[in-house]
């Protein structure tokens, strides 16, 4: 399949876990990006972060999101609570994936289809209530169970894409596009060092990949060196790529698919590949 890179290589700057509970830190990161001229930004909205920050109950936050939309940013549905409340992990692999690597925040990692559908419906209702355009879904920690995928497939009329750690699933056919993805784990010095090494490796790999994703999190603002590194990374990405929203990139992918000859390979992942991409979290 022809890649959607006819307008050049692109970068998406995505800020995760955007909520009234995290807005102070999110605002610090956005102010730094804004001052550097990095735009647009894709903001991943958590409707009720950890059951303690309902978006609809914070008028100042709602005004801030409306302002971000007005400047050309995209708002994306990022789970409902950002908290893994499913049955406890039963295998060592799941314990590592759902507890150690994701700090028990992979909300959709083990949900049934019915539970996932109910949470997705509440998220859609929030966006609709505030007149926010909705094109994408990102499961917290990039983890989605089979049930969650089934629930999202049913709502493909509302979503153009679902993001995994290693790429983007383009709906409604779940064509998987591999992307490069930069992410920090800023919790302590060893993890920050490992993150820098991982980012360096990922940037080397990104030279062969049309889309580079910069995945920022509110906790990155707590470490000045991490926030400054993100600014440098964004500026370097802007020097060689066009910054777009995820929705803009998904539209390019769809247009390229429409131009492809019938029967041309679309490069979608097998279920094993998709699972591997989703499981590789920070």
Q: Is residue 82 part of a domain?
A: yes
pLDDT recorded at residue 187: 87
Q: Is residue 95 part of a domain?
A: yes
Q: Is residue 3 part of a domain?
A: no
- pLDDT band for 153, please (50, 70, 90 cuts): very high
pLDDT over threshold 50, residue 71: yes
Contact 28, 217 (CB under 8 A): no
Q: Is residue 2 part of a domain?
A: no
pLDDT recorded at residue 281: 33
pLDDT over threshold 80, residue 28: yes
Question: Can you spell out the DSSP letters for 209-234?
Answer: -SEEEEEE-GGGGGSHHHHHHHHHHH
Give the Cβ contact number of residue 17 at 10 Å. Answer: 22
CATH code of residue 246:
3.20.20.370
pLDDT recorded at residue 210: 96
Q: Is residue 246 part of a domain?
A: yes
Asked if the bond preceding 172 is cis, omega within 30° of 0, the reply is yes
pLDDT digits (tens, 9 = 90+) for 125-139: 999 999 999 999 999
| Alpha-carbon span 189 to 250, nearest angstrom | 36
| Domain carrying residue 43 | 10-277
Q: Is residue 128 part of a domain?
A: yes
pLDDT over threshold 50, residue 91: yes
Q: Is residue 36 part of a domain?
A: yes
Higher pLDDT, 235 or 89: 235
Mean pLDDT of the 180-191 span: 93
Number of domains present in the structure of the chain: 1
Give the Cβ contact number of residue 75 at 10 Å. Answer: 23
Q: What is the pTM of this model?
A: 0.88
pLDDT recorded at residue 271: 33
Q: Is residue 213 part of a domain?
A: yes
Exposure string of 167-206, with b = 16+ CB inside 10 Å and e = fewer, is bbbbbeebbbbbbbbbbbbbeeeeebeebeebbeebeeeb
Mean pLDDT of the 259-280 span: 45
pLDDT recorded at residue 262: 59
Contact 79, 143 (CB under 8 A): no
């Amino acid at each position: 399949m022809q890649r959607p890179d006819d307008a050049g290589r692109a970068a998406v700057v995505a800020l995760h876990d955007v909520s009234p509970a995290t807005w102070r830190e999110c605002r610090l990161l956005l102010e730094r990006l804004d001052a550097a001229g990095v735009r647009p930004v894709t903001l991943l909205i958590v409707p009720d972060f950890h059951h303690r920050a309902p978006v609809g109950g914070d008028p100042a936050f709602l005004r801030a999101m409306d302002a971000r939309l007005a400047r050309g940013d995209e708002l994306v549905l990022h789970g409902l609570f950002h908290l893994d409340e499913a049955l406890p992990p039963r295998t060592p692999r799941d314990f590592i994936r759902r507890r150690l690597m994701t700090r028990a925040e992979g909300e959709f990692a083990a949900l049934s289809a019915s539970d996932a559908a109910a949470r997705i419906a509440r998220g859609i209702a929030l966006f609709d209530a505030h007149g926010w355009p909705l094109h994408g879904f990102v499961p917290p920690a990039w983890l989605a169970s089979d049930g969650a995928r089934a629930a999202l497939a049913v709502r493909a009329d509302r979503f153009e894409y679902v993001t995994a750690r290693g790429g983007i699933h383009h709906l409604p056919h779940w064509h998987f596009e591999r992307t490069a993805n930069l992410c920090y784990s800023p919790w302590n010095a060893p993890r920050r060092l490992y993150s820098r090494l991982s980012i360096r490796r990922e940037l080397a790999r990104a030279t062969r990949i049309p889309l580079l994703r910069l995945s920022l999190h509110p906790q990155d603002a707590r470490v000045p060196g991490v926030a400054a590194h993100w600014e440098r990374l964004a500026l370097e990405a802007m020097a060689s790529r066009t910054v777009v929203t995820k929705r803009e990139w998904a539209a390019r992918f769809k247009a390229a698919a429409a131009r492809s000859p019938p029967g041309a390979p679309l490069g979608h992942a097998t279920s094993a590949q998709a699972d591997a991409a989703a499981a590789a979290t920070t």
